[in-house]
Structure 1
Amino acid sequence: MTNHDIKTKLIFSTSFDPWYNLALEEYLFRHVEKNQVILYLWQNQNTVVIGRNQNVWKECRCGQLAQDGGKIARRLSGGGAVFHDLGNLNFTFVMHRDEYDLHKQLKVILEGVRKLNINAEFSGRNDLTVEGRKFSGNAFYFEQEKAYHHGTILINVDIYKLSTYLQVSKEKIASKGVDSVQSRVGNLSMFQPDITIAKMKEALIESFLEIYGGNSEPPVTVSDSTYNLQDLYERYSSWEWLYGKTPNFDIVYETRFPWGGIDLGLTLKNGLIVEAKIYSDAMNSHLIEKVASALINCPFQIDYLVNRINQLEEDPDDKKILADLVTWLLSKASD
C-alpha cells in the first residue's frame, strides 16, 4: 500500500484528565477506519498511569499521589508505570493492523525530535534516547484487526515527582505483580533548553505528514462535548478498573504505640479486604478483634478504613487506641 492510499488524521485533546484522555483513545481505537492512521496528541496533569496487568499498590505511592491531588489511571496496554504531568506530551498512533508499522511510527517521533536539533536515537526494543537517557517509553495494544501504539515524550517533566510517586511503599508488600523496570530518564529540555510542548507538537505534526503523506483530514481539537465518551469515562474512572484487577496480595503494616504494638495484615481480593488480622500485645484484645472485623469487605483505601474505625462504638478507655489507629492510618496515606 502506498502512502497515497492512507488517510491520515490528527486529533488533539484539550483535557488534562487521564480518564477522559484514555476514554478518547479507546473511542478512536474502536472507530478508526480501514486505511486510516490517526495521530492523537494529549497531556495528563499529575497522573500515574499503570499498565493493564500491574498491581497499582506495588507500582505507585497512591496515598501521596491522592494527597497531592493527582490521579491513578490504568491503560489498556501492558508495560510499566509512568508519571505524566504537563511537561510531558503523550502520543498515540491508531490504525488497523494492516497499517501497523512500529519502525515507521517511532520514526515519526524520532524525526520530530531531530527537527528541534536534538540527536535522538532508537534504543533497546522500543525506547527512544538522547545521550543514553530515555525520553520516550512506548506501549502497544492489539485487539482483533485493530492496533494502537502510544508513548510519552518527556519535555520538562518534574523528575522529583516522577521518582516520588513511582517509589514502592516502605511497607512490606508481597505480591504476584511484576516489577516495572525503571530506566534512567531525561527531559529533552536538558539538551534543548528552549524546547516547548507547542514546538514539539508542531514538529511531530510536520514529521507525521512527511512520513505518512496521504490525504490528511483537517486536525480535530477535541473538547468534552465532541464525542459521547460517558460510558468509557465511567469505566476508566471506576474503582473496579483502577484497583479491582490487581492480583491478590497481602499488605502488612507494623508500628508500636505506648499501649502496644500493632501488626496489621490484610488480604485483598478485587480491591476489597477479604481478611484482616491484627497481631497486638495491647491489653484490650476484644477491641483489636473488633477493629479487624470492621475492616472486612472494606475497599482498600485509607479514608474507607478510617471511616470504618470511626464508626466503632467504644468505651471511654478505648477512645485513645482508636484515635491513635486513625492517626496512624492517615499517616499511611502520605507514605
Structure 2
Amino acid sequence: MAGTVLVSGGSGYIAGETIRQLLARGWTVHTTVRNLSREAELRGQLGGSPETLRFYAADLMKDAGWAEAMDGCDAVCHMASPFPTSVPKDENELIVPAREGALRALRFAHAAGIKRFVMTSSAAAIAYGHPPGKSQYDESDWTNVDAPGVQPYIKSKTIAERAARDWVAANAPEMDYCAVCPVAVIGPVEGSDFAASIDLVLRLLNGSVPALPDVGFSIVDLRDIADLHVRALEADAATIHGERFIGSSGPFQRFADVARVLRDNLGPQARKVPTRKMPNWAVHLLAMVMPPARQLLGELGRVRATSSAHAQEVLGWSPRPPEQSIVDCARSLIEKGVVKV
C-alpha cells in the first residue's frame, strides 16, 4: 500500500527509523522539522532522494507549514511531541504543545482529505496512576492524570491521545485513526541524537550509575516499533480503525537485568557496568540532593508490565527479544564513539 505519507517530527529517534523503513518499502515521505537548516544533516541519516523524501518547516503550536506538508499525502504518521530534558516548572510546557500539536495535525489532515492517521502515543498513557497492586497493563487501560505523583510528560501523552480520539469521534468518525503506544525504546543509534531511554544503557556502560536501583521498565526495539507504525499505515482500514497498539517486546526489565545482559554479552567492554544494588533508602537520600532522582521514588519496587499480544495478533507484529535490543544498542553506542569504554 505504498503511497505518500507525512511523518511529523522527522528529527526524532523513532521517526527517523520509521522514515527509513517507509522509504525502503517504496513510500514517498514528507516530514516536518522545526528548522529546515537541519535538512542536509537529516537527509544524510535518513536516505532517500529529493523526490522521495521532502522536508517542511512546521511547529506544533503554529499553523504555518502544515497544509503544505499534508499536500498530496495519503496518510499521516504523527510522531512529533515534546520530550523533557528535565522536569518542567510548569507542566503545561509539555501538555499544551502535545495536545495542540496532535489536534493541529488532525485538523489539517482532515482538511486535506486524508483518511489514515497513525498517532505515536506512549505506554505512559496506559500504565500510570493506578492502584499500587496493579502490575499488568493492556490497551484497555488508561493513565489517571489526576492521581498523585503523575509526571508532566506522562500527563502530556495521555491528554494528547485522549484529545485526539475525542476530536476524531466528534469531527471525523470516518477517519482511520489509531494510536501506537511504545514502552522504553532501545536499539542502534546513528549518533549522539537519540531517545532518552538510550541514556540508561549509556550511563551503565560509562560507569556514571554507581549502583542499581530497584526500578524497571518494559523495552521495545527501535526497529520493531518503527515496523509497528509501518504495519499500522499499511493495514486494512477495518483492522486499525479506532485501535490502540502497545509496542513492547517482552518481560519487564529492571536496572539489574539490563546490567546483567551487558556484562554477559560485552565482556571487557562492560567493565564499568555496576554490579551492586542500590538500597531504597539510598535512592531517597539521592533524591534530596539530585532533583531528577525524585522521579525514581514512585517507581521503586513497582512493576508495569505491558502486553503486546494485541499488536501481534491483529497486525502480525513480531518483536525481537529485549536482550538483543540492549546488546545492539550498547554496541552501536561504542562503535559510534558516543560512549568510551
- TM-score, scaled relative to structure 1: 0.25
TM-score, normalised via structure 2 length: 0.25
Structure with higher strand content: 1
